[in-house]
Chain A
Amino acid sequence: DQQVKQNSPSLSVQEGRISILNCDYTNSMFDYFLWYKKYPAEGPTFLISISSIKDKNEDGRFTVFLNKSAKHLSLHIVPSQPGDSAVYFCAIKNSNSGYALNFGKGTSLLVTP
């Protein structure tokens, strides 16, 4: 039973364009949302997060949008760079229930020159 879904296994974007990665969740009790980036043979590295009291958080080229009514989260990268090519995982938690981060299966982003 997948509580966190990333329905696009892969995405290809041209350098300089916007990359939009999407994530849907089913549990309305989730209240903290993170994006991690993972290169091959490395562990995930934290990218950006947002709490349920906000609907947008921006950090440089990265912006996360949260639509609680739709239970939808998205990560925008603009402009995209070849070094952004990696697997992106959304990770979500319910701060009032346990300590687990619930990860999606990931979206593999390829930014082409």
Chain B
Amino acid sequence: QQQVKQSPQSLIVQKGGISIINCAYENTAFDYFPWYQQFPGKGPALLIAIRPDVSEKKEGRFTISFNKSAKQFSLHIMDSQPGDSATYFCAAIGAGNQFYFGTGTSLTVIP
């Protein structure tokens, strides 16, 4: 049973475009929602994270939008660059310290 559902599985965006990746969860005990970026051959690295008391968080070109009532959150990458081509994972964590990740989105940014 997937605790966090992520879509799309893959995404192709033109350079300069906006990349949008969506995640949904069911367990209202989750209270921390990070996004991780993974390049081929590397481990995931934290990109940006949000708490459910905030509806939006922006760091540079990366923005998380959070809809608590719908139990959904999304990652927006503005002005997408070829260097952003990677796999992105959303995750959800509760106070019990168990981490649940989405299934991943492979992003390709075409020059």
Partners in one complex: no
